[in-house]
Amino acid sequence: MIDDYPDITLILQEIEKRYNSHSIFISGSAVEYGDFTPLEAQNFIHLLSRELIKKNFNVVNGFGLGVGSAVINGALDAVYSEPKKYSENQLILKPFPQFPSGGKELRELWEEYRQNMISRAGVSIILFGNKDDNGNIINAGGVKREFEIALEHGLIPIPISYTSYMAKEIFDMISAEFLRYNLTEELFKDLTELTLDKSDLPKSVKQIVSIAQKIAK
């Protein structure tokens, strides 16, 4: 029962929020992987995407350089391992346009794609986030923009700080005042306790997935 008609909008917003909490946007790009070797990084991303599907999450991805392929492979690995239990519909892929079209510049198209893609999720997992700028490796501004859009849409950010680069920059930003970034004290504590165990990558992945599960409850 409702007491006032404006409550209907609030109820619908809460329904949308709970529905979207089962969709995870994986944001990231990489031309190098910091403390990871390329093989370790690809295995890590693959395991993360696969485990999210197996926990009945949807995975949303924009096919970021150095990250997107492993996200797709991991998700499909889970689906094809048990096709009666998991579905390809759990993988929502939105590759970015490569050329201007429809009278719109490329950056305008990218912004539209990011807005559409991110609005479908309730959680944003941020990995790595770097790019090549004329031979120099710099933090990826596109990953930061995706973080900003995610906040606008009410997503809960999970930056994986040990993947370094923009993910670490965002984690440090959040650390200064985490309540501003859709995080509770409990969730922020969980974030700070994430650890990388290269000898047991499934263990590290499980820590991340457990945060997503806590959000989706």
Count of domains observed in the chain: 1
Residue 53, Cβ neighbours under 10 Å: how many?
A: 25
Q: How confident is the model at residue 19 (pLDDT cuts 50, 70, 90)?
A: low
Q: How confident is the model at residue 9 (pLDDT cuts 50, 70, 90)?
A: low
Residue 3, in any domain of the structure: no
Residue 139, in any domain of the structure: yes
Range of the domain at 187: 15-216
Residue 77, in any domain of the structure: yes
Residue 10, in any domain of the structure: no
Residue 7, in any domain of the structure: no
Query: What is the pLDDT, as a whole number, of residue 17?
Result: 63
Residue 81, in any domain of the structure: yes
How many degrees, rounded to 5, is the angle at CA 46 between CA 209 and CA 134? 110
In this structure, the chain runs to a length of 217
Q: How confident is the model at residue 5 (pLDDT cuts 50, 70, 90)?
A: confident
Please tell me the pTM assigned to this model. 0.90
* Segments of 44-164 assigned E as strands: 58-61, 91-93, 123-128, 130-133, 136-139, 156-159
Query: What is the pLDDT, as a whole number, of residue 21?
Result: 72
Residue 2, in any domain of the structure: no
Tell me the pLDDT of the chain averaged across its residues. 91
**Phi/psi of residue 107, each to 5°?**
-65, -35
Residue 165, in any domain of the structure: yes
CATH code of the domain containing 181 = 3.40.50.450
The secondary structure of 186-212 as a DSSP string is HHHHHHHT----TT-HHHHHHHHHHHH
